[in-house]
Structure 1
Amino acid sequence: MSVWTLGINHTTAPLDLRGRFAFAIDQIEPTLRGLRESLARRPEATLLSTCNRTEIYCAGGRSELDHTMEWLAHRGGVSPALLRSHAYTLENDQAARHAFRVASGLDSMVLGEPQILGQMKDAVRAAEDAGAMGTTLHQLFQRSFAVAKEVRTSTEIGAHSISLAAASVRLAGQLFEDLSNIKVLFVGAGEMIDLAATHFAAKNPKAMTVANRTLERGEKLAGRFGAEVMRLADLPSRLHEFDAVISCTASTLPIIGLGAVERAVKLRKHRPMFMVDLAVPRDIEPEVRELSDIYLYTVDDLAHVVQTGKDSRQAAVAQAEVIIDAGVQNFMHWLDQRRSVPLIQQLNAQTDEWRATEIARARKLLARGESVETVLEALSRGLTQKMLHGALAELHAGNADNREATAQTVSRLFLRGNLPQEQKER
């Protein structure tokens, strides 16, 4: 059995392609079930999907990787060749190293960002609910979380990192002289919008409004910031009221179209509007970018902003990589040991069978009136003969070279501390 990863992320695939393979957290469980049902051996599997990446982790055979590539391409509505040109596949130690780097924030658009760790834990829980999490992947991810914790407590990898939400505020500050004079609309009520609202609230904008499909959830978020709440259905008629729009929903199709923004621009008499689309797939139609007086940014556009200060954290990255390397070595050692489990199970089953046979024979001897000493002697002799039979047969078989190799192995297994001096020196 091997461990492998198949994925795309912000460094290998454009935004619109990533959008085809974005899965909301409530989609992960049925998606994993569908993947495993399409595979003959039903391997362990976990699906991680965020704004910047979609990755499938599996513990299974190498042939299952090729099938998964085709399955995922079909699911995203693209050709396997197109997906393959943007995807990466990693196996065993490289897959483990990648998982540890992702959990530690080293593979994120925002170096050291903490949100990815929570997203990985959510993905693991979803895999457990789908019955797709086995011993191997459980070990991989638990070790990932432990490594991530050590990286964050032992290095400065997360110090002064700029989140996408904070970057949005920084860009808005470049467009508007005073953020306390603007009205901000937040579309959605998830974690990313929560972070964005927190950063904007620190600038004391004139007004903040939350638009969400579920009014109750929108009210809960709005209440924390003293913001207004409105229904998502009212967004087109009220869009012109806002100077800044930050959107991040789980919609599979854009919810802010070109026509609605064109009408808003006219009603605003061409006053500039700042828009940030943090969603994957997109919440805002890309053609909106072409409109005058509209400043639209996507998650990929924010990449340059969030890289600020990255160079100063390279020493922390080097420290983190050392921690990760140690974690990878420990996981691979555990994985190598796991490969011996079937043999160990067979040995235990065989010895249990021998033991049961000899105990049954001993009971018959006792029932016939044989002395306990005689029965114990027969029991011990019967067990030792069964255990040594295979080794003794091998010592008498084959050519001289094979017998010599067998002799060394048998000595190492059965004699241990009593090895002849010449074999110890070898």
Structure 2
Amino acid sequence: MQLITFGLNHATAPLALREQLAFGDAQVPDTLQQLRDSLGEQVTEVALLSTCNRTEFYCVTDKPHQLAETLPQWLAQQRQLVTNDLSGHVYQHTQGSAAQHAFRVASGLDSMVLGEPQILGQMKQAERLAREAGCLGTLLNQLFQRSFATAKEVRSQTEIGAHSVSMAAAGVRLAERIFERLADCAILFVGAGEMIELCATHFAAQQPKRMVIANRTRERAQTLAGKVGASVMSLNELPEHFAQFDIVVSCTASSLPIIGLGMVERALKTRKHKPMFMMDLAVPRDIESDVAQLDDVFLYTVDDLASVVQEGMEQRQAAVGDAERIIQQRVQDFMHWLEGRSALPVIQEMRQHAEQLRQAELSKAQKALQKALAQGTDPMQALEQLSHGLTNKFLHAPLQALQQADEHTRPHWLALLGELYGASSTRTDSSLTNKLTNKEEE
């Protein structure tokens, strides 16, 4: 059985193609079953990971070359594409390369945002759906469990996820430096565009005491407020309520500042100089630059946040080498386990053969023991015969291989048998052969 991964991601395929090949969680079980029904014995295990940035199939097969051809054809047919539409956009990994890819994905090293943690949860969901669909076996289970463990090790032992790499995330981190608990803070978002939505989503994850969206058009503000659990106010209400907010995030298309120095000074007086954290993400700026000079205001502009993000990216990038070393070691561990599984059929056959020999010698010994008891002779002779018989039977095959070996293969057999039977590899052919022969003839 071999492990094979087939897929495409943000680095290999445009958004338009990724959209066509995306699968919702509700679609995954049926998709997995359809794949197994269509490709039959080509696939013994399969899991599907589908996010906005990637669609990947993790498969176990004993026909990797055939599957490499049929799986892209099947996927194209499912989404009414021609196979050539996938050409140049898909990648395939097998065995160790497939394991390395899975470990890198789980650890956030293959993500659009380096080190992002969401992909690990998505992989866990993919594993759960495959297991519930009855498509997860021993090999894929090991692959996913080791992927999760590797991701945890990478995150605990490197700085890959320790620094903010988006303006929204950087804003949350900076606010946490000012306020001990964001859960105790009231937050005002001025505007209702994409950037404000992203920031509101990040801050909402901290479960603040209160969130309000202020926008020129109330309808758009209400749409965003419904997504993040906020309330709404108009821009005209800002001066009256501004002092109620600990954190202010603004990003509008206004050509003139919306939040002036006087408004902020009055708010600070009302707040008895309790600090305010402000993020101005607009260009041109929404908050007058003089506000930054106030003692109790911590104001960050787009340029300020960009430097924080860049610093975070550099620090995460510096951690990549450490993460890759951890992953490489875990890939070696996985491949050692996988190679061990490949020996299972041989081990099982050896055990069956040994059991047949044991049963045959035991039958002889039981007859000899019964005869000894009937004749009043020493029963220990039956046990001696049993031990000699087992020794001879177990040594027969390796000894025969050594005796029949030619001058080219004999050194290999000598080294191997010397290691197995505790004979020195420096012994001569005849001395080792005699040692084994004596054991067989005793």
Indicate whether the TM-score tops 0.5.
yes
Structure having greater relative contact order (Cα 8 Å, sep ≥ 6): 1
Kept after mapping to 1: 8 A contact 2:108/2:115:
yes
Could you report, residue by residue, the CA deviation over 1:370-419 in whole angstroms, capped at 9, with x for unpaired residues? 543122122212212221111222233253333443333322222x2555
- Report what 1:388 is aligned to: 395
Candidates 374, 378, 386, aligned match of 2:385: 378
Give the secondary structure class of the aligned counterpart of 1:46: strand
- Report what 1:348 is aligned to: 351
- Separation in 2 of the partners of 1:26 and 1:305? 41
- Separation in 1 of the partners of 2:234 and 2:38? 48
- Separation in 1 of the partners of 2:44 and 2:192? 50
Q: Which runs of 5+ in 1 are unaligned?
A: 170-177, 186-190, 212-217, 229-240, 244-270, 274-303
- Report what 1:121 is aligned to: 124
Report the count of equivalent residues. Answer: 334
- Report what 2:32 is aligned to: 32
Give the secondary structure class of the aligned counterpart of 2:3: strand
Could you report, residue by residue, the CA deviation over 1:237-275 in whole angstroms, capped at 9, with x for unpaired residues? xxxx999xxxxxxxxxxxxxxxxxxxxxxxxxxx979xx
- Report what 1:48 is aligned to: 49
- Report what 1:180 is aligned to: 189
Kept after mapping to 1: 8 A contact 2:120/2:148:
yes
- Separation in 2 of the partners of 1:165 and 1:24? 26
Report which stretch shifted further, 396-405 or 107-116.
396-405
Kept after mapping to 1: 8 A contact 2:402/2:410:
yes
CA RMSD of aligned residues (A): 3.9
Kept after mapping to 1: 8 A contact 2:7/2:56:
yes
Q: Which runs of 5+ in 2 are unaligned?
A: 173-186, 236-251, 255-305, 430-442
Could you report, residue by residue, the CA deviation over 1:279-335 in whole angstroms, capped at 9, with x for unpaired residues? xxxxxxxxxxxxxxxxxxxxxxxxx99985423422112221121122122222222
In structure 2, relative to structure 1, the CA distance for the partners of 1:168 and 1:155 (3 Å cut) is: closer
In structure 2, relative to structure 1, the CA distance for the partners of 1:332 and 1:392 (3 Å cut) is: same
In structure 2, relative to structure 1, the CA distance for the partners of 1:366 and 1:227 (3 Å cut) is: farther
In structure 2, relative to structure 1, the CA distance for the partners of 1:65 and 1:144 (3 Å cut) is: same
Larger gyration radius, structure 1 or structure 2: 2
Kept after mapping to 2: 8 A contact 1:59/1:136:
yes
- Report what 1:111 is aligned to: 114
Matches within 5 A, 1:213-232: 225-226=229-230
Give the secondary structure class of the aligned counterpart of 1:205: strand
Could you report, residue by residue, the CA deviation over 1:172-208 in whole angstroms, capped at 9, with x for unpaired residues? xxxxxx97344589xxxxx999658548988731376
In structure 2, relative to structure 1, the CA distance for the partners of 1:122 and 1:272 (3 Å cut) is: same
Instruction: Give 1:405's aligned amino acid.
Output: H
- Report what 2:440 is aligned to: none
In structure 2, relative to structure 1, the CA distance for the partners of 1:227 and 1:47 (3 Å cut) is: farther
In structure 2, relative to structure 1, the CA distance for the partners of 1:398 and 1:210 (3 Å cut) is: same
What TM-score do you get using the length of structure 1 for normalisation?
0.67
Report which stretch shifted further, 360-369 or 3-12.
360-369
Asked if residue 57 in structure 1 is aligned to residue 65 in structure 2, the reply is: no
Report which stretch shifted further, 194-203 or 3-12.
194-203
In structure 2, relative to structure 1, the CA distance for the partners of 1:242 and 1:125 (3 Å cut) is: farther
Could you report, residue by residue, the CA deviation over 1:11-46 in whole angstroms, capped at 9, with x for unpaired residues? 111111111111111222221122122234232211
Give the secondary structure class of the aligned counterpart of 2:60: strand
Matches within 5 A, 1:12-411: 12-41=12-41, 42-61=43-62, 62-63=64-65, 64-162=67-165, 180-182=189-191, 198=205, 204-206=212-214, 209=222, 225-226=229-230, 308=310, 309-370=312-373, 371-411=378-418
Kept after mapping to 2: 8 A contact 1:110/1:306:
no
Kept after mapping to 1: 8 A contact 2:163/2:313:
no
In structure 2, relative to structure 1, the CA distance for the partners of 1:227 and 1:364 (3 Å cut) is: farther
Instruction: Give 2:402's aligned amino acid.
Output: L
Deviation at 1:109, TM superposition (A): 1.1
What TM-score do you get using the length of structure 2 for normalisation?
0.65
In structure 2, relative to structure 1, the CA distance for the partners of 1:192 and 1:39 (3 Å cut) is: farther
- Separation in 2 of the partners of 1:56 and 1:164? 33
Could you report, residue by residue, the CA deviation over 1:133-162 in whole angstroms, capped at 9, with x for unpaired residues? 222222221111111111111122112334
Instruction: Give 1:204's aligned amino acid.
Output: V
Report which stretch shifted further, 5-14 or 403-412.
403-412
- Separation in 1 of the partners of 2:92 and 2:345? 27
Instruction: Give 2:38's aligned amino acid.
Output: S
- Separation in 1 of the partners of 2:80 and 2:188? 42
- Separation in 1 of the partners of 2:70 and 2:307? 38
